[in-house]
Structure 1
Amino acid sequence: MGKGDATREIILDEAAGLARQVGLGGLTIGSLATRTGMSKSGLFAHFGSKEAMQLQVLDHETDRFTSEVVRPALSAPRGEPRVRALFEGWLAWDSADGGCPLVAAAFELDDQPGPVRDRLLHNQRDWFDTLATIASTGVAEGHFRPDTDPRQFAQDIEGIMLAFHVASRLLSDPDAAARAHRGLDALLAAAAAPAAP
């Protein structure tokens, strides 16, 4: 990685940290300049516009999520173990300082048309596809019933994750993680293939 790329990564890390606090909409070149001690003109040279900066931060956080949550889960055995690994990775990700910036962005941008929302929408569809594919492999491995609907499974597990996010971050519920695990256990029990006779 060259010096310019390394500098860009440092700037994007700072921008992502700021976005976790103020949201993507609150992320401006001016606020990032204040946080980094860089000049506005220097940051403008890196990004060109607020929207371009927001898009790059969104891509940066999506790449981090893939590296820290999705890829490690894909190394777990297929089926239920992979579902559990993905779930645990997501809980750890959302429990970090500032929570999941992608969830925050989904709430923030759901009714704000434009390129940033379009990118987030694309990323969210990819995430649902990942969840559905993992559910399908659970069927193929014989862990889940043959009539399991992968899209429904994806929506249900996402619902548990979003409920954890609200309970943990907004409500400061100390039992949020335990409730999320019980929700996952119930979902997996409902999808479980019948035991062989």
Structure 2
Amino acid sequence: MSEHLADTTSDDAAREPSDGRVRRGDRTRRVVLRKAVDVASVEGLEGLSIGRLATELSMSKSGLISHFGSKEGLQLATIRAARAIFVATVIDGALETPPGLARLRALLDAWLDYSSDRRFPGGCFFSRACHEYAARPGAVRDALAATDDEWLALITRSVAEAQEVGDIDPDVDAGSLAFELVAYLDSANLRSLLMGSNEPYDQARHAVGDRLAAVSEASRSPTRSR
């Protein structure tokens, strides 16, 4: 037993420097990606470069290359970091609401808050990046498209769940309604940036509320209940 303890202690001592380097590397990566998502939300993913980030963060270019390997590697890591922020900011809290109209509205309101509060300086990170890469095939566009598909699928599923609990007219096409609702959000983000005003977000909230009221009132109409 004493020999086993000695071996374990020796192993832990040998591992400690390596673990410390891993932790420092993780901290460095988080700092870099936090800066990268802010830059990309304003200037686009094409505006990212390892050299620029190294200068702005007073780090060595070779050190950053060791973390990301290439500009595309940096861009893909930035998308993953932005997705994690989006999930934590918009989705996690809303999914605590029981399935139904309330959850759907919570998701849409959380998105409008995230965009209008400028969680990213340039508004919604993904709106900016998707406009930039929509017509440019490759790994970056694929990663953005996958994230966009996830968001639209979540809204579609939330609409379907609201139909299942009787909150929304079951005759409404869930995919089409989700497309409309997401379009209101995207329009508010773009027009707010162009106008330098939060008024488009108020307009989007009203539009979302009116559309949801229309499909929920239809589910409770006397003719349907008969």
TM-score range, shorter chain: over 0.9
Equivalenced residue count is 197
1:118 is the counterpart of 2:139: no
* Residue matched to 2:133: 109
Q: How far is 1:169 from its partner?
A: 1.1
For structure 1, the residue ranges without an aligned partner over 5 or more in a row are: none
Q: How far apart in 1 are the matches of 2:31 and 2:67? A: 12
Cα shift at 1:174: 4.1
Q: Check conservation: 2:41, 2:129, Cα contact below 8 A.
A: no
Structure 2 residues without counterparts, runs of 5 or longer = 1-21
Q: How does 1:82-93 map to 2 (within 5 A)?
A: 82-93=103-114
Residue 88 of structure 2 corresponds to which residue in structure 1? 67
Greater mean alpha carbon deviation, residues 29-38 or residues 46-55: 29-38
Against the structure 1 CA distance between its residues 21 and 34, is the aligned structure 2 distance closer, same or farther, given a 3 Å change threshold?
farther
1:183 to 203, 207, 223: 207
Write the letter of the residue equivalent to 2:82.
E
Tell whether the 8 Å contact from 1:132 to 1:154 is kept in structure 2 after alignment.
Answer: yes
The CA RMSD measured in Å over matched residues stands at 1.5
Q: What is the rounded CA distance, in whole Å, between the counterparts of 2:168 and 2:49 in structure 1?
A: 46
Superposition TM-score, scaled by structure 2 size: 0.83
Identity of aligned residues (%): 34
Deviations 1:122-153 (A, max 9, x none): 11111111010000011011110011211111
Matches within 5 A, 1:24-35: 24-35=45-56
Residue in 2 aligned with 1:143? 167
Contact 2:54/2:60, CA 8 A, preserved across alignment: yes
Matched, 1:194 2:220: yes
* Per-residue deviation, residues 144-177 of structure 1 (Å, max 9, x unmatched): 0011211111101111001111221112244212
Residue 166 (str. 1) matches residue 190 (str. 2)? yes
Task: Give the letter for the 1:109 counterpart.
Answer: Y
Q: Which amino acid aligns with 1:194?
A: R
Q: Match of 1:43?
A: 64
CA gap of 1:174–1:90, structure 2 versus 1, over 3 A, is closer
Deviation at 1:68, TM superposition (A): 1.1
CA displacement 1:67-101 (0-9 Å, x = unmatched): 11011111112211111111121112112122111
**Contact 1:11 / 1:36 at 8 angstroms: preserved in 2?**
yes
Alignment of 1:76-87 (within 5 A): 76-87=97-108
State the 1:118 CA deviation.
0.7
- Counterpart-to-counterpart distance in 2, 1:174 and 1:11: 30
Given that 2:189 and 2:201 are in contact with CA atoms closer than 8 Å, whether structure 1 keeps it comes out as no
Q: Is the 8 A contact 1:94 1:100 kept in 2?
A: yes
Distance 2:104 2:83 in 1: 19
| TM-score calculated relative to the size of structure 1 | 0.95
Matched with 2:7 is none
Displacement after TM superposition at 1:195 (Å): 4.4
Report if aligned partners of 2:109, 2:205 keep a CA contact under 8 Å in 1.
Answer: no
Does residue 14 (structure 1) correspond to residue 35 (structure 2)? The answer is yes
- Does structure 2 retain, via aligned residues, the 8 Å contact 1:18–1:32? no
Corresponding residue of 1:100: 124
